[in-house]
């Protein structure tokens, strides 16, 4: 199976941008549907966006509101999350996740997780 490693988190002011990267190693990345989740302090982990292996099918949570863009490059074995117009409510640990086959919106359908990267939006 694949292993996942996130990077790109950090501290940003409200209205700013960040680009998260999820690098995969191990098994064939193109066999997996992938997603970004996030977990804010004291809250449940929630899905942010998901993308199928061939990038033909995407999902974005309602709170994304056109501010974030998920993408992936199977040749580079990498998934991305471009985040713009960040708000304090976006502060959370962001995780990438993978499962064989199509992506799922359900957290418990993913058996492969990265270690997470902290995103903090604050003035």
> HEC profile for 24-85?
EEECCHHHEEEEEEEECCCCCCEEEEEECCCCCCEEECHHHCCCEEEEEECCCCEEEEEECC
The residue with tokens 């359900």 is 106
Per-residue pLDDT at 52: 95
Residues with pLDDT less than 50, the chain? none
pLDDT number for residue 83: 98
Residue matched to tokens 């359908």: 109
d(Cα 31, Cα 47) in Å, to the nearest integer? 20
Q: What is the pLDDT of residue 48?
A: 98
The predicted pLDDT at position 27 comes to 80
Q: What is the pLDDT of residue 80?
A: 98
């Amino acid at each position: 199976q694949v292993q996942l490693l996130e990077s790109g988190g950090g501290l940003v002011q409200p209205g700013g941008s960040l680009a998260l990267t999820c690098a995969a190693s191990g098994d064939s990345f193109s066999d997996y549907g992938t997603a970004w989740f996030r977990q804010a302090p004291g809250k449940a982990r929630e899905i942010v966006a998901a993308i199928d292996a061939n990038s033909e099918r995407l999902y974005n949570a309602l709170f994304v509101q056109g501010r974030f863009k998920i993408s992936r490059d199977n040749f580079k074995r990498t998934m991305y999350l471009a985040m713009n117009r960040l708000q304090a409510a976006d502060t959370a640990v962001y995780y990438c996740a993978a499962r064989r086959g199509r992506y799922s919106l359900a957290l418990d359908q993913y058996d492969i997780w990265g270690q997470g990267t902290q995103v903090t939006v604050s003035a």
